[in-house]
């Protein structure tokens, strides 16, 4: 980001400009800029404070209902249809862009780890949506399943992530994401920022998924730490776990915080992906 210091107001600095300029993490510049535009939007400023408490109250009511009806009136197909409808008609281009990026990034990270661990072939289910319609195919639920299934397969098959020389690490799964993404809807109705949208969507997950599915989806967020540890061991860089904020999966956190932790999950994935790309580029630089 180019910034004209001649126009900077030292008495009223813009917090989002500061964070967009910050180079202290591995967060991709284009994705960071998109998130900061969302943070600065009127949607997040005025809608989020109203939506968040109502959404959390809705989660409480849904969870109470699930005590009596744990598996009734559920429909993953309807859930994903509503999500796609919202993405097409209400989410901002920046919000949709970050969502598309997240699914590609998550699949690339798991494929990268699978390529660098000694196990028999594992069953993988990459999620790399190219259109909004691709999200209808149980994509959000499958994203959570992929993380649990990967961890179970790696450990059940005896795989261990050991430090490797950079020259021996396979980066073939890592490709630049933005070139793979479509143009996003940009009508006057597409105004909703990502964080507000996530708070709105979270009660829908509780409503249209079974009780077990919703808890599993919520608990999957804390596996960010587990995946980060695998990457850190591979590169012998334990310090990168400090970039992860969803931790301690053995001590599950309440589903009431799922919306906020989902935002952290996106940030964790971006930083982890950015680190792997940084090491890929470092390998290319050393080989040149």
Identify whether 5 is part of a domain.
no
Average predicted confidence (pLDDT) for the chain? 95
Question: What confidence score (pLDDT) does residue 288 get?
Answer: 80
**What are the 10-residue block averages of pLDDT along the chain, 288 residues in total?**
85 93 93 96 97 97 93 94 98 98 98 95 95 97 97 96 95 95 97 98 96 95 97 96 95 94 97 97 93
Identify whether 2 is part of a domain.
no
Question: What confidence score (pLDDT) does residue 6 get?
Answer: 87
Identify whether 19 is part of a domain.
no
Identify whether 13 is part of a domain.
no
Identify whether 250 is part of a domain.
yes
Identify whether 20 is part of a domain.
no
Question: What confidence score (pLDDT) does residue 10 get?
Answer: 94
Q: Residue 149 — φ and ψ, nearest 5°?
A: -65, -35
Question: What confidence score (pLDDT) does residue 107 get?
Answer: 98
Identify whether 171 is part of a domain.
yes
Question: What confidence score (pLDDT) does residue 3 get?
Answer: 85
Question: Is residue 35 within 8 Å of residue 194, measured between CB atoms?
Answer: yes
State the total domains in the chain: 1
Q: Residue 192 — φ and ψ, nearest 5°?
A: -80, 130
Identify whether 258 is part of a domain.
yes
Q: How many CB atoms lie within 10 A of CB 75?
A: 12
Question: What confidence score (pLDDT) does residue 1 get?
Answer: 61
Residue numbers of the domain that contains 102: 26-287
Q: Who contacts 47 (Cβ-Cβ below 8 Å, separation ≥6)?
A: 192, 193, 196
């Amino acid at each position: 980001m180019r910034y004209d210091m001649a126009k900077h107001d030292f008495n009223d600095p813009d917090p989002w400009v500061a964070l967009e300029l910050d180079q202290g993490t591995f967060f991709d510049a284009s994705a960071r800029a998109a998130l900061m535009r969302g943070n600065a939007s009127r949607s997040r400023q005025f809608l989020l404070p109203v939506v968040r408490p109502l959404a959390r109250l809705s989660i409480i009511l849904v969870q109470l209902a699930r005590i009596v009806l744990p598996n009734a009136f559920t429909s993953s197909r309807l859930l994903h249809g509503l999500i796609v409808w919202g993405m097409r008609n209400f989410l901002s281009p920046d919000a949709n862009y970050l969502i598309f990026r997240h699914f590609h990034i998550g699949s690339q990270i798991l494929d990268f780890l699978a390529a660098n661990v000694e196990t028999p072939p594992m069953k993988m289910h990459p999620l790399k949506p190219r259109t909004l319609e691709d999200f209808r195919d149980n994509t959000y639920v499958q994203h959570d399943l992929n993380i649990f299934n990967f961890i179970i397969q790696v450990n059940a098959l005896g795989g261990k992530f050991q430090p490797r020389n950079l020259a021996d690490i396979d980066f073939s799964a890592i490709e630049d994401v933005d070139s793979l993404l479509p143009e996003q809807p940009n009508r006057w109705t597409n105004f909703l920022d990502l964080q507000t949208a996530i708070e709105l969507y979270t009660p829908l997950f509780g409503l249209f998924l079974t009780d077990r599915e919703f808890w599993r989806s919520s608990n999957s967020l804390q596996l960010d730490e587990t995946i980060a540890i695998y990457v850190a061991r591979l590169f012998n860089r334990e310090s990168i776990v400090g970039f992860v904020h969803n931790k301690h999966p053995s001590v599950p956190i309440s589903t009431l915080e799922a919306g906020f932790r989902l935002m952290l999950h996106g940030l964790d994935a971006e930083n982890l992906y950015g680190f792997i790309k940084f090491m890929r580029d470092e390998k290319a630089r050393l080989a040149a």
